[in-house]
A and B are shown apart, each in its own frame.
Chain A
């Protein structure tokens, strides 16, 4: 298991957003998370990537505890020095890209590897160019983010996350901020990563994509996992009434 989250609880000022969520992701697995707005999907990813702190439960990366609940019922995290190591295991691709506007595409990809991971400039630039080629935007290396289309920006953001060589990559609705005609190019590179057995968790509203690419689908609603399993089972033969209701909206 790359990541294991056990009995995760998270509240925002009394509002229970995650209630007792448990799930794990195996090496090479691609997991899609679907669910209605406000069901806690983003919050779950943000807890997994340490942008939010959990109120209860356990987070393990590669079998090692990053956070757990002590006897008093409070969630405690490892020391922040160790947390940096856990952070390096995971990457996150945001809905809004969040590229650094004052850096060129290449520098967006190399700055953290050089400054945070202390890798050499040559090596960082070489592997960055390799990633940009893979994303089909090698010719944009010297461009600045504002000069790119949304689809290109999101591919840069994916490359930036991959440049850190994470064990697992999380995507929070990577195509929701894009014009419909640009979603395809982003989904294509994610699919390509799936073929290369990159471990990924993708929150998405793109049902055909989730069905085609993922090994497992998780349907979340109201801060709990309502149903999960093989995408064909969940999409074509959902067991739970809430899943059926949710999927009916996407059918045409």
Chain B
């Protein structure tokens, strides 16, 4: 296999890696907020269930969760899992990251001084106005460093997709390396991951800068 074939095959894998990355963020960032709010629900059952969800997700390996999502439908319900690989992968990633983001959001929400809520109440803001206009923007600013950490971890975690034999860059690197008895694919994969994280760090820094206009 020529180096250019290797490169283009792996670039295609990197695109799939980016797919996992983007879909996971698109799903887990908003879902995490919903989970964070459910965790503070007025209904004890809802609170209990969300807490159980968060602790199961955080207490088990992501790799195992991916296997459960993929094979679960077959072993539990005897369903065919053809075509289920990618959906299972995304469900597994989204639900996993949502739990971590939920905890970050919760910490951020709890760090906002109660005086902010009281000022809103006296000024007549509704609950949703208070949250969307006053609390959430401040929460976002405060949690940016933790979110950045989590996003960078996600870039690397996408490699766990190899568990389900999904052809993203890490799976491909392993396969090509084995078939060509070459070390080069690992170097290429390393460079790809590093570049991806470089871009992520750059974007996150931009966002943090944009929020720097107040303290």
Known: A98-B115, A112-B123, A115-B125. 9 other contacts (CB 8 A): A49-B122, A51-B118, A84-B124, A88-B124, A92-B122, A100-B116, A112-B125, A116-B124, A160-B123
Contact with B along A143-155 (1 / 0, CB 8 A): 0111000000000
CA A96 to CA B123, docked complex, whole Å: 16
Taking CB as reference atom, which chain A residue is nearest B137? Answer: A102
Contact partner of B215 (CB less than 8 A), chosen from A51, A101, A117, A160, is A101
Question: Residues on A close to B: CB < 8 A?
Answer: 49-51, 84, 87-88, 90-92, 94, 96, 98-102, 111-112, 115-117, 144-146, 160-161, 164
- Chain A nearest CB: distance from B125 CB in Å? 6
Are A164 and B123 in contact (CB-based, < 8 A)? Answer: yes
Given contacts A102-B214, A115-B129, contact A87 B124 (CB under 8 A): yes
Asked if B138 lies at the interface with its beta carbon under 8 angstroms from chain A, I say yes
Determine the chain A residues whose CB is within 8 A of the CB of B119 once the complex forms: 94, 98-100
Are B133 and A144 in contact (CB-based, < 8 A)? Answer: no
Given contacts A100-B134, A115-B129, A116-B129, contact A91 B215 (CB under 8 A): no
Are A101 and B124 in contact (CB-based, < 8 A)? Answer: no
- Using a CB-CB cutoff of 8 Å, which residues 99-132 of chain B contact chain A? 113, 115-116, 118-119, 121-125, 129
- Chain B nearest CB: distance from A48 CB in Å? 11
Top 8 nearest A-B pairs (CB, nearest first) are: A98-B115, A98-B119, A112-B123, A146-B215, A116-B124, A144-B214, A92-B122, A102-B137
Contact with A along B183-215 (1 / 0, CB 8 A): 000000000000000000000000000000111
Q: Which residue, A90, A96, A100, has most C-beta atoms of chain B within 10 A?
A: A100
CA A92 to CA B215, docked complex, whole Å: 24
Are A164 and B124 in contact (CB-based, < 8 A)? Answer: yes
Are A102 and B118 in contact (CB-based, < 8 A)? Answer: no
Q: Which residue, B119, B123, B124, B134, has most C-beta atoms of chain A within 10 A?
A: B123
- Chain A nearest CB: distance from B67 CB in Å? 43
Taking CB as reference atom, which chain B residue is nearest A88? Answer: B124
Determine the chain B residues whose CB is within 8 A of the CB of A116 once the complex forms: 123-125, 129
